[in-house]
Amino acid sequence: MILLILAAQAATLGATNYGVDAPMPAPRGKPSFADEFDGKAIDQTKWRFDVSRNAEGWYNNERQYYAKDRAENARIEDGALVIEARREKLTKTRFADWGGQAYTSAKLVSRKPRGYGFYEVRAKLPCGRGSWPAIWLLPSGGKWPDEGEIDIMEMVGWDAGTVHATLHSGAFNHVKGTQRGAQTKIATACTAYHRYQLDWRADTITIGVDGRAIMRVANDQPGGKAAWPFTRPYDLILNLAVGGDWGGQKGIDDAAFPQRMTVDYVRYWQPR
């Protein structure tokens, strides 16, 4: 019996598909936090620009330089946030931290970390080969993946329309091939806005699109923090990477650039 239980646990721990199809309505009432991007400029009391690894290069062998408060790469346009990746080289004369990258883009991080609750980001995605948009959460400090990562939405341009939702932790991550996630097909991901959603609770994390859950992971596995580090507030991140181990797996179509991720709004409801 013990051997059977251990075998069953091992099979579960190695599983990566946590797909589900269930209703996922957004809460009623006013959000606890929202950015409707209806001003003239990005509200830097709500967002900061992450430029921390420009000089040495970004993780995953990504190819972009993330600009700070540069309208060519991040701006408010027609009531939406535009994050634009461009094929261009900069100069150290004007950008001291430029690391020689041939692409520019932007990465916005929420000023205030948030934890349990319901998140909704309405966005339209880029489809050019080599683009890698993401809406995700990561905690400050600590070592990856021990502190956890929540990917509400990732999509690579060479597989446009396939949207991925994933959780990473010390025991479950893509390095080990044990990441917990699911994917769904959205034919109009690049031509229309869709609502990318996260319902983060102490016992479950559910991720969905347009009011339907596509992934649900329960806090029911052995391993303590290695299995479930999702117990403290995380920063919300909006970014558009270029190339990289996954995004550049089939090369980069330079002719397709510039590429845009457009965000209509970000909303968060704190649990009552």
Give the separation between CA 6 and CA 49, rounded to whole angstroms: 46
Low-confidence ranges of the chain (pLDDT < 70): 1-15
Q: 106 near 83, Cβ under 8 Å?
A: yes
What residue ranges do the domains of the chain occupy?
A: 18-269
Catalytic machinery residues: 149, 154
What's the pLDDT at 272? 86
- What residues are paired with 124 via a beta bridge? 262
Give the separation between CA 96 and CA 150, rounded to whole angstroms: 32
What's the pLDDT at 125? 98
Give the separation between CA 214 and CA 165, rounded to whole angstroms: 8
Query: Which tens digits make up the pLDDT trace of 220-254?
Result: 999 999 999 999 999 999 999 999 999 999 999 99
What's the pLDDT at 257? 98
- Which residue carries 């990732």 as its tokens? 154
What's the pLDDT at 167? 98
Give the separation between CA 3 and CA 121, rounded to whole angstroms: 45
Q: What is this structure's pTM?
A: 0.94
CB neighbourhood size of 255 (10 A): 8
Give the separation between CA 55 and CA 43, rounded to whole angstroms: 26
CATH 2.60.120.200 fits 18-269, yes or no: yes
Q: Phi and psi dihedrals of 271, rounded to 5?
A: -60, 145
- What residues are paired with 242 via a beta bridge? 131
